[in-house]
Amino acid sequence: MFDYRSEYVRDAKDGVGNARRRAARFTLLYWVLRLGVITCGALVAIFSAAQLPLWLVGTCGALAAAAEAVLIAANLQQRSVVCGLLADEMSAELRSYELQVGPYKDDTRIENLHEKIEDLRRKASTEKFRLDSAPERGSDESSSSAK
């Protein structure tokens, strides 16, 4: 017999793993491209000082500019953070579900889990967790909660 509850929980756990893998992949790609930018930029200075052909200096400069453009356009750093946040939030909800705490105490716990997980997925794909929406230090919201 098909048990949609355990199937959904398994799917959510797979989603956590997928989000963590995507975060790691975005982070790796970011640092590979960043290292390429730094290396090509350094080679431009070295090749210029060594008075190597101008086409070689220009090629290294163009590669550095292209890699930087990809970094900016792909927004890899933020995408990595968003995937990591999604994985952490989903994992926390699954943990609460398995421990039967919070909104997962009664008979509607699978419906509550489904609603929360799908809300997190939707939020990650549409709002990108709005990394700049966290209250700043010293703002009214954070200082009033400290009192």
pLDDT for the residue numbered 128:
61
pTM score, whole prediction: 0.76
Confidence of residue 130 (pLDDT cuts 50, 70, 90): low
Residue 116 burial by Cβ neighbours in a 10 Å radius (0-12, 13-18, 19+): buried
User: Does residue 17 contact residue 86 with C-beta atoms inside 8 Å?
Assistant: no
Confidence of residue 4 (pLDDT cuts 50, 70, 90): confident
Q: What is the mean pLDDT of residues 71-83?
A: 91
Instruction: Find the DSSP H helices in the chain.
Output: 4-49, 54-74, 76-99, 109-126, 140-146
pLDDT for the residue numbered 131:
54
Residue 11 or 145, more confident: 11
Confidence of residue 1 (pLDDT cuts 50, 70, 90): low
Work out the mean pLDDT of the chain and round it to a whole number.
86
Report residue 142 as tokens: 């954070």
Query: Which of 41-50, 76-85, 98-107, 125-134 has the largest mean confidence?
Result: 41-50
**Annotated domain spans of the chain:** 4-131
pLDDT for the residue numbered 146:
44
128: left (phi over 0), alpha (psi -120 to 50) or beta: left
Q: What is the mean pLDDT of residues 58-77?
A: 94
pLDDT for the residue numbered 125:
79
